[in-house]
Structure 1
Amino acid sequence: MAPRTRAKADPALPPTLPTREQILAFVAESKERVGKREIAKAFGVKGGAAKIELKALLKEIEQDGALDRGRGGLAASGRLPPVVLADIRSRDRHGDFLAVPAEWSGEGKPPSIVLMPVRGGRGAKRPAPGIGDRALIRVERDAEGGYSGRVIKVIGKNKAEIIGVYRAGAQGGRIVPVDKKGQGKEILIPPGEEGEARDGDLVSVALERETRFGLPKGRVKERLGSLGSEKAVSLIALHLHGIPHVFADATLAEADAVKPATLKGREDWRDRPLLTIDPPDAKDHDDAVMAEPDGDPANAGGFVVTVAIADVAAYVRPGTSLDREALERGNSVYFPDRVVPMLPERISNDLCSLREGEDRPALAVRMVIAADGTKRRHTFHRVMMRSAAKLSYAQAQAAIDGHADEKTAPLLDTALRPLWTAYAALRTARDRRGPLALDLPERKVLLTAEGGVDRVIVPERLDAHRLIEEFMIQANVAAAETLEAAKQPLIYRVHDEPALEKMRVLGEVLASIGVKLPKEGALRPDLFNRVLRSVAETEHAIFINEVVLRSQAQAVYSPENLGHFGLNLRRYAHFTSPIRRYADLIVHRALITACQLGSGGLPTGVSVGDLAAIGEGISSTERRAMAAERDTIDRLIAGHLADRIGATFAGQISGVTRAGLFIKLAETGADGFVPISQLGADYFRHEEGRHALVGERTGETFRLGDQVEVRLVEAAPVAGALRFELLSEGRKGTRGGGGPKKSPGRPFKAAPAGRPPGIRNTGSRHRGSRR
C-alpha cells in the first residue's frame, strides 16, 4: 500500500508543483511548522490553479498520516517539529531537565526531551527553567530517535501543577509525587511551608527555584484530601488530570430550582411497555427500549423498534450555569469507587433518570425495521413515558434463556421476546454491514467495602448487552440522518479510516508472521476482520488484535462528517446518553429544532465553527476522562499487589519501547514495566515496525503480544506503577543476524505456531544480578 505521488503520476499538473517527497523533506528540515504559503513560496508555486492543486496534495499527505497539523502549520507525522511548546516535568539521573510536548498527536506517550544546560552569553541572562515551567524549546533528534533541546524562552513559570503525598518529618517534610511519568525526585518542604497538610495528605505544591543537583524545595499550596479516605485513589486522578468534580453553587441552585416537566407539548406514551435494561449497579437510567411486530402488510415480518432517551434538553438550557459547567466537564467520569457526573444528581439521578413506574420526559425515535434488519424509515417524538420495568442485563437474558423470575415472567411474551426477535433481524443486517470485530476483553475492578480491590473480572458478554448496543447504534444513525436531511448543523461521532502510514506498518507486522495484507481495493473493516479470522486459532491472535487496534484512528467529535470506519457507517451521531455526554445534548437540541418539537433547541445563530470548537473541547475531555480512569485502576491494582513482591505472574507483552517492555498481567490486567537494562547481556534495539526489541548479537526477540512469565520486584501504589523482572526467554533468532527472518507473505493464512517463549534460565543471566 505505497503512498501515491500525485505530482509524478499526473503529467497534467503544473510543472511547478513539488512532489510528495520534496514536500516531506522540506517540512522535516524546516525550523518551525510550515503552512501552504511557506511551501508555495519555497517551490515557486504561483497562480490560483497551482495553489489549489498544492492545497489538495497537502490535504492528501495529511490524510495519509505523513504530516500532522497543529498550531502554526504542518510537521512530519509522529515526530516533534524543530520548535515545540513543552512542559518541564522532571530531571533525569544526570540532573538534566526532562520536558514533554504540550501537544502530541503521535502514537503512544509523548517523547521526552532532554534539555541541554543554558549556555553562557545572552542565553545565560534569560530566566532559568525549572520543573513545572512551560517553555518554547528548539529540539534536535539523535541517531537513536530520541530528542534533546535548548530552551528558547520560558513561557510560564510552574504552569504544571505538581500533586503529591505529604510525608511529615522532624525538619519539615517531603512530597512524594504521584505522577509515575514523574517528577523524578521527592520535593523538600521546609518547616513552616507545609500549610495545613498532615502526614499522608494529598497536596498541591508550588516549587521554589532549585539547584542543578539535590532535591528541589517547595511549599504546600493546598491540602486536597487524605489518602486514608475511602475515595483517595480517584481523588488523585481528579486533581492530577484537572477534572472538575465540585459543582458551583450557582449550578446546584439552578438544578434545585428545576420543576418536573409536564405533559404539555408531549405525546403521552405512558402506557407503552418501555423497559430499561442496565448493569445491576446503575444509578441512572437514560435509555428505554421496546419492540413490536409491524402491523403494516407492506412490511411482513418486520418490526417497530422504539428507543426513548431522557429529555435532558428540557432541563438544561443553553447559556445557563448548568449548561456551561456541563460543557466544561464534557462527560461523566467513571471510577471503580465513584462517578463524577456531568450534571448534578438532581438532574442525572432524578429528573432525567427513567425510573420504573414514574413519569419522565423523553425524546424518542420510532424505527420501522424490515424482516431482513434493514431500517425502512424513522420518526422522532417528544413524549412523556413511564418505564414498565427496570431490569439488569443478566435478569433479562435469564428470562429469554428459560429462567424467568417473578418480575420478568409477566414481561416475557409482551416485551422481552419481541425485543429479542427484532434484535435477531438487526443482527443479520449488522453481519452484512461488517463492522470491525476486535476481540479484546474488558476487565472490571470490583472493590471491597473498605475501598480496596476485591477481585478483577472479565464480565460475560450476553446477547442482552449486544441487543441494547445495536438498538443504540440504530438510534444514533437515525439522529444523524434526520439532522442531515434537515440541513441542521450537528456534532458527529467520527472515526476516520486508518492512515496509510499505519497501514504500511501493519502490513510489515503481518508479513513477519506470514500473513499478507492486500494492497488493492477499498479500505473497509472487513479487510481487518479477515485478517483477525485468519489468526483467531493461532498464537498470534492477541498480538494481531492489539496491532489492528493500534492501527486505527482515534474517534472524535466533529461537525464535519467523516463517517464511522469501525462501525462501517456513513453517518453517526451520539444521541443516546445526554446525561453523561455533552455531544448527545447538542444532538438532542438540534433534533428539537429540526423536528420543531418545542423549546430547548439549539440557540439561533449557532455556526459550524461554534460546533467545531465544542467538538474539539469535548474530544479533549473524553481523552482526559479515559486517562484518569486508566490511572485510577493502575493505582488500585498496584496497591492490591503491593504485598506480593517476589510473586510470579503470567502476562503478555502489551507495549514495546526503546526503554523496555510493558507487561499486562493475565490475572488482573495490571500493566507494569521491564527496563531494557534488565533484559540480559545482549544489546537490544527497538524495531518499531515489528513492535519488537531484538538482540544485536543473539537475535533474541521480545515482541508485542508474546506470552511471558514475570516476577514482581516493585509496586508503587501512589504512582500506580509496577516493575517486573522477566523470567521468560525471547523468541530465538539468528545469532548476529538481527533477529528472525520474515516469512514470505501469504494471503490470510497464519504461519505455523512456533515454540512459545520458554522460561529463562535464572542462573548467570538472572535479572536481579544486574540491579
Structure 2
Amino acid sequence: MSKDPHFDREQQKYQNPIPSREFILDLLRSQSAPMNREQIGISLALTDEEQWEGLRRRLRAMERDGQLIFTRAKSYALPERMDMIIGTVLGHKDGFGFLRPEEDGQDLFISNRCMAKYFHGDKVMAQPIGHDKRGRQEVRLVRLLEPRKAAIVGRYHTQGSIAFITPQDKRIPQDIIIEKGAANGANPGDICVVEIRERPTHFMAAKGEVVEVLGQQNAPGMEIDIALRNFDLPHQWNTRIDRQLRKLGDEVSETDKGNRQDLRHLPFVTIDGSDARDFDDAVYAEKKRSGWRLWVAIADVSHYVKKGSALDEEAIARGNSVYFPSQVIPMLPEKLSNGLCSLKPKVDRLAMVCEMTITAQGKLSGFKFYPAVIHSHARLIYEQVAQALTEGSTNQDLQAVLPHLHVLQDLYLALVTAREERGAIAFETEETQFIFNDERKIEAIVPRSRNQAHKIIEECMIVANVAAARFVKRHKAETLYRVHQPPSETKLSSFREFVNERGLNLGGGEEPTPADYSELLERIKGRDDAELIQIMLLRSMSQAIYSADNDGHFGLALEQYAHFTSPIRRYPDLQLHRTIRYLVNREAAQKAGKALTENWTRDGGYLYQIEELDELGLQCSTTERRADDATREVSDWLKCEYMQAHIGDEFEAVIASVTSFGFFARLKGLFIDGLVHVSSLANDYYRFDSGRQMLVGESQARSYRIGDTVSVKIAAVNLDDKQIDMVLTDNAKAKASKGRTSNTGNKTGSIRAQLRKGNFGKSSSSTKKRRSSTGKGSYKSASKPAKPSKSKSSKSKSSKRRK
C-alpha cells in the first residue's frame, strides 16, 4: 500500500483506504494478461474483508466508467489492450451513426443494427470490427458508459391503445413508447419532454414517461423551448443563487468603490446594438503627440462572482450566454448581467480597466491593468455613431462626446493599418436578422450590415485582448488563450482546388500565412462570386478553441490572444479577469514588501493552475459549440417556418454546396439554403466531381457547380426536419403538384409503421428501410420527389463581437 502514490489522498477519503484507481491501472499495465479480482487483491496485499469489499466496489466502478473491461473469463482487462475505444455516439436520421472518440481521431461508423440500442449523445465503449462496404472503419458498441444528458423532446402520438413520442431531434430515429399512466396530461400533437424508463433493445422500443408538456408546435417560442432541452442548455436558476443575489444591492455600494482608481471624470461611452442589454465594455481615447492613449473599461464581474460560489458553478455550467433571435439565455442572472455589472449610462460601475498606449503606426507599445470605478457618459448605438461620424448629430448626449468619437475613429484607422501590415484576415460576410411581429412570428429576414462603428469597437477590443494575454505572459502565469490553428492539410487542399477552378490561386505553398489569405480576399473584391469565395474560405478554417497552450491566433495573425472583454457573457473572460486581479494584487504586495501566500484574494483574484485550465478550456470550448449548434437549429426552424408561406414561389439563388445527391441553393437576400435533389434535374446520369465540386450530366453535358446562379421554386417545407426542398424552375411544372408543407414530417414514425404492418415490438431500425445517397458512381435522375435535406441556413446572430 505504501507504494501507491495516491495513498494520502485515499486516506483522507476512507478510514481503511484501498489502492487508488491509478495504482490498479498501473498494476494491470505491468501484467501480460488480464487479472481476476483475487489475483489483483493478492498483488495489492489486501489484508481484511473490508478492503476486499472495497476493491470489489472499486473494480465495478472502474468497469462502469470504462476504465476496465470485465471479460468472459471473469477477469479485468485494460480497454486499450483489447482495442476498445471510448467515445460519444453521433446519431443519424437514417438510423446509422458514428462514434466520436474521446481521444483525437476520425469518427467511426456504427451500423443501423448496432445503433438500435443507443441514442445520440450516449457515452459508450466500442470495439473496431473492420471496414464497411464504403471503406469506413466500423465499430461495434460494447457497453453504455453514460446515457445522454440532454432530455429527449418529441411529439406525442396515439394510435389505438398505443401512445408514443417521436423525437424532434432526427438524430434519434427511435420512437419511445409511453405506457398507460405515464402521459401526464399530454394530448396528441403536444411537444413533450420524455424521460427514458427502459432503454431500447433489438426487440423492443424504448419506454418513457412524459415529464413536461411544452405545448403545440406552432406556439410562439416553441423552437427555443425545444432547443434548450435538445442541447441540454441550463436555463433556470436554483435557490442557492437566489439567496446569493438577495445579498446584493441594486446599485454599487460606496464600500465597493474603495481601493480603486476613480475614472468617473473620463467620458467613457458604450457602443452596442440597439437590442443590447448587457454592456460589457466602455471606451475612451485621447490623442497624444506620438499616438494615442486608449482606455478600455470592462465590467468587473469577478468582484461579484467569486470562484467556487453558486453563481460561479452555474456560470461554468453555462459557459456563455446564448443569443437566440428573439431571446437571450444569459450566463449570469439579470440582476448582474443587465444590472450591477452592466456599464449603464449615468451610473457608477465597477470595472477592470486596460489602459494602453498606441503608436502612430497603430502598434501596442504599453499597457497596465487596474480596478476602477467609472461613469459611462452615454449609451450609443452602432448606426447612430456611424452616422454622426460622417454627418454630425443633433442628439445632445452624442454631441457632447462626438469629439472623442473622432479620436477613436482616427485611432481605429491606425489599428487597421497595423492589422493589414501583419496580414490578419479581414472577413466581410453578411449576416441576417429576423424581424418579428407582435405574435413573435417572422415578418421579414433582412441583412444585418456592419458599419465603421462596429469596426472601431472590434479593433479596440482586439488590442485589449492582446494586452491581457501579454500581461499574463509577462508575469509568467497561466490563462486560457483563444487559439485558432492554421487550416488542416485536407481543408487546405480542398480550398486550393476550389479557388483554382475559379481562375485564382492561394499563395504560400504548403503553409500559407494569414497574409496569403488576405491577399486573395483583396483580389476578389468586386467579383460576383466574392461572397461565395469568402464562405468557402471560412469553411476551410479550423474552429477556434480555448486552450491553456498559447498556440496563437491564425486568423488575426497574433502570437498571443486571450478573451478579456466580455466577462458578462463568456466564462473564459471571467477566468482571465480573476487571473489579472491576482497578478495586480501580487505586484502591489511585492512593491509593499509583502507576499501573497494563497492563490486567491478576497476581492475576486485567483491564480489558476495548468490542470484546472486544461479542464476549463475543454468545458468552455464545448459550451461554445453547444450554443452555436442550438442557435443554428433555432434559425433553421424559423427560416423553414417563414418559407412555409412561400411554397410555389420562385427565387434567384446561388449554388452554395454540391453533393453526390444534389446541390444546396442559397436564396439571394434571404441566406436560406434548400436542396435541389439530383432526381429533380433534367433526365440524365449525373456524376459528382468532388475535386471540382460539381455535378456533371453524362449524356447532355449539363453541369452544376458552386457559385452558379440558378432560378428555383420552393417545392416543399418540412418543419419537423427543418428541411426545404427546391426544384429548378425549368422543371417546376412537372414538380409543382408534388409540393407540400408539413408539420409532421414526410415519413411515418417507426412505431406507426409497425402498427400498420403488425410488427409492433420489433426493432424500429430493422423495420425501417431508409434511403441514403453515397458518393460512389453516378446518380440517375428520376421523376420521384426530391429527397428532403436539412436546411443549411446561415446564422442570424446578435452583433456581439466573437473574435
Q: With structure 2 as the length reference, what TM-score do the two structures score?
A: 0.73
Aligned pair 1:493/2:482, yes or no? yes
CA–CA distance in 1 between the matches of 2:310 and 2:164? 40
Query: Which one-letter code corresponds to 2:623 in the other structure?
Result: T
Q: 1:377 pairs with 331, 355, 366, which one?
A: 366
Bigger shift: residues 255-264 or 622-631: 255-264
CA–CA distance in 2 between the matches of 1:681 and 1:148? 36
CA gap of 1:477–1:398, structure 2 versus 1, over 3 A, is same
> What residue is the counterpart of 1:129 in the other structure?
117
Query: Which one-letter code corresponds to 2:712 in the other structure?
Result: V
Does the 8 Å CA contact 1:556/1:619 hold for their aligned counterparts?
Answer: yes
CA gap of 1:188–1:644, structure 2 versus 1, over 3 A, is farther
Query: Which one-letter code corresponds to 1:335 in the other structure?
Result: F
Counterpart secondary structure, 1:595:
helix
Query: Which one-letter code corresponds to 1:241 in the other structure?
Result: F
CA–CA distance in 2 between the matches of 1:514 and 1:476? 38
Q: 2:337 pairs with 333, 342, 348, which one?
A: 348
Query: Which one-letter code corresponds to 2:396 in the other structure?
Result: K
> What residue is the counterpart of 1:99 in the other structure?
97
Q: 1:114 pairs with 100, 111, 116, which one?
A: 111
Instruction: Write out per-residue CA displacement over residues 411-437 of structure 1, whole angstroms, 9 at most, x where no aligned residue.
Output: 245422222222222222222223112
CA gap of 1:268–1:583, structure 2 versus 1, over 3 A, is same
Does the 8 Å CA contact 1:113/1:139 hold for their aligned counterparts?
Answer: no
Residue correspondence of structure 1 range 298-313 to structure 2 within 5 A: 300-313=289-302
CA–CA distance in 2 between the matches of 1:715 and 1:212? 33
Does the 8 Å CA contact 1:190/1:217 hold for their aligned counterparts?
Answer: no
Q: CA deviation at 1:686?
A: 4.0
CA gap of 1:484–1:601, structure 2 versus 1, over 3 A, is farther
Counterpart secondary structure, 1:291:
strand
CA–CA distance in 1 between the matches of 2:687 and 2:699? 10
CA gap of 1:233–1:425, structure 2 versus 1, over 3 A, is same
Q: CA deviation at 1:499?
A: 2.2
Counterpart secondary structure, 2:625:
helix
> What residue is the counterpart of 1:603 in the other structure?
606
> What residue is the counterpart of 1:426 in the other structure?
415
Query: Which one-letter code corresponds to 1:240 in the other structure?
Result: N
CA–CA distance in 1 between the matches of 2:101 and 2:114? 24
Does the 8 Å CA contact 1:332/1:581 hold for their aligned counterparts?
Answer: yes
Does the 8 Å CA contact 1:137/1:153 hold for their aligned counterparts?
Answer: no
> What residue is the counterpart of 1:325 in the other structure?
314
Counterpart secondary structure, 1:377:
strand
Instruction: Write out per-residue CA displacement over residues 722-749 of structure 1, whole angstroms, 9 at most, x where no aligned residue.
Output: 22234479xxxxxxxxxxxxxxxxxxxx
Instruction: Write out per-residue CA displacement over residues 20-77 of structure 1, whole angstroms, 9 at most, x where no aligned residue.
Output: xxxxxxxxxxxxxxxxx9xxxxxxxxxxxxxxxxxxxxxxxxxxxxxxxxx99xxxxx
CA–CA distance in 1 between the matches of 2:421 and 2:301? 34
CA–CA distance in 2 between the matches of 1:382 and 1:91? 52
Q: 1:545 pairs with 534, 542, 557, which one?
A: 534
CA–CA distance in 2 between the matches of 1:769 and 1:488? 57
Counterpart secondary structure, 1:435:
coil
CA gap of 1:301–1:672, structure 2 versus 1, over 3 A, is same
Counterpart secondary structure, 1:404:
coil
Query: Which one-letter code corresponds to 1:162 in the other structure?
Result: I
Query: Which one-letter code corresponds to 1:665 in the other structure?
Result: L
RMSD: 3.3
Query: Which one-letter code corresponds to 2:520 in the other structure?
Result: V
CA–CA distance in 2 between the matches of 1:207 and 1:137? 27
Does the 8 Å CA contact 1:195/1:221 hold for their aligned counterparts?
Answer: yes
CA–CA distance in 2 between the matches of 1:149 and 1:115? 12
> What residue is the counterpart of 1:267 in the other structure?
261
> What residue is the counterpart of 1:292 in the other structure?
286
Instruction: Write out per-residue CA displacement over residues 429-478 of structure 1, whole angstroms, 9 at most, x where no aligned residue.
Output: 22222311233211111222211112111122111110000000010001
Q: CA deviation at 1:534?
A: 2.9
Instruction: Write out per-residue CA displacement over residues 533-571 of structure 1, whole angstroms, 9 at most, x where no aligned residue.
Output: 333333442332222112211100011111111011111
CA gap of 1:608–1:217, structure 2 versus 1, over 3 A, is closer
CA gap of 1:388–1:687, structure 2 versus 1, over 3 A, is same
Counterpart secondary structure, 1:461:
coil
Q: 2:246 pairs with 242, 249, 256, which one?
A: 256
> What residue is the counterpart of 1:756 in the other structure?
none
CA–CA distance in 1 between the matches of 2:561 and 2:719? 40
CA gap of 1:428–1:770, structure 2 versus 1, over 3 A, is closer
Q: CA deviation at 1:681?
A: 4.2
Q: CA deviation at 1:160?
A: 6.7
> What residue is the counterpart of 1:669 in the other structure?
671
CA–CA distance in 1 between the matches of 2:104 and 2:687? 21
CA gap of 1:518–1:303, structure 2 versus 1, over 3 A, is closer
CA–CA distance in 1 between the matches of 2:154 and 2:113? 27
> What residue is the counterpart of 2:649 in the other structure?
647
Counterpart secondary structure, 1:652:
strand
CA gap of 1:643–1:603, structure 2 versus 1, over 3 A, is same
Counterpart secondary structure, 1:560:
coil
Counterpart secondary structure, 2:658:
strand
Residue correspondence of structure 1 range 436-515 to structure 2 within 5 A: 436-515=425-504
Aligned pair 1:627/2:624, yes or no? no
Counterpart secondary structure, 1:265:
coil
Residue correspondence of structure 1 range 278-289 to structure 2 within 5 A: 278-289=272-283
Query: Which one-letter code corresponds to 2:240 in the other structure?
Result: A
CA–CA distance in 2 between the matches of 1:661 and 1:645? 19
> What residue is the counterpart of 2:553 in the other structure?
564
Instruction: Write out per-residue CA displacement over residues 633-692 of structure 1, whole angstroms, 9 at most, x where no aligned residue.
Output: 111111111232222222233333344433332242223333444445444444444333
CA–CA distance in 1 between the matches of 2:498 and 2:103? 22
Instruction: Write out per-residue CA displacement over residues 288-309 of structure 1, whole angstroms, 9 at most, x where no aligned residue.
Output: 0111122xxxxx2521111100
Counterpart secondary structure, 1:401:
helix
Query: Which one-letter code corresponds to 1:616 in the other structure?
Result: L
Does the 8 Å CA contact 2:240/2:310 hold for their aligned counterparts?
Answer: yes
Counterpart secondary structure, 1:443:
strand
Does the 8 Å CA contact 2:679/2:783 hold for their aligned counterparts?
Answer: no
CA–CA distance in 2 between the matches of 1:388 and 1:157? 52
> What residue is the counterpart of 1:589 in the other structure?
578
Q: 1:719 pairs with 710, 718, 721, which one?
A: 721
> What residue is the counterpart of 1:576 in the other structure?
565
Instruction: Give me the identity figure in percent.
Output: 33
Q: CA deviation at 1:284?
A: 1.4
Structure 1: gaps spanning 5 or more residues: 1-36, 38-70, 73-80, 119-127, 295-299, 730-763
Instruction: Write out per-residue CA displacement over residues 566-620 of structure 1, whole angstroms, 9 at most, x where no aligned residue.
Output: 011111110000000000001111111112277444435x311210110111001
> What residue is the counterpart of 1:410 in the other structure?
399
Query: Which one-letter code corresponds to 2:270 in the other structure?
Result: T
> What residue is the counterpart of 2:55 in the other structure?
none
Q: CA deviation at 1:144?
A: 4.2
Residue correspondence of structure 1 range 686-725 to structure 2 within 5 A: 686-695=688-697, 700-725=702-727
Instruction: Write out per-residue CA displacement over residues 255-291 of structure 1, whole angstroms, 9 at most, x where no aligned residue.
Output: 2313435221101111110001111111111110111
Counterpart secondary structure, 2:396:
coil
Does the 8 Å CA contact 2:357/2:367 hold for their aligned counterparts?
Answer: yes
Does the 8 Å CA contact 2:319/2:619 hold for their aligned counterparts?
Answer: yes
Counterpart secondary structure, 1:226:
strand
Aligned pair 1:164/2:154, yes or no? yes
Does the 8 Å CA contact 1:301/1:371 hold for their aligned counterparts?
Answer: yes
Counterpart secondary structure, 1:458:
strand
Residue correspondence of structure 1 range 25-174 to structure 2 within 5 A: 85-87=87-89, 89=91, 92=94, 97-103=95-101, 113-116=110-113, 129=117, 131=119, 135=124, 136=126, 138=128, 140-142=130-132, 144=134, 150-155=140-145, 161-167=151-157, 171-174=161-164
> What residue is the counterpart of 1:365 in the other structure?
354
> What residue is the counterpart of 1:656 in the other structure?
658
Structure 2: gaps spanning 5 or more residues: 1-28, 30-65, 68-82, 589-600, 732-780, 789-803
Q: With structure 1 as the length reference, what TM-score do the two structures score?
A: 0.76
CA–CA distance in 1 between the matches of 2:525 and 2:351? 43
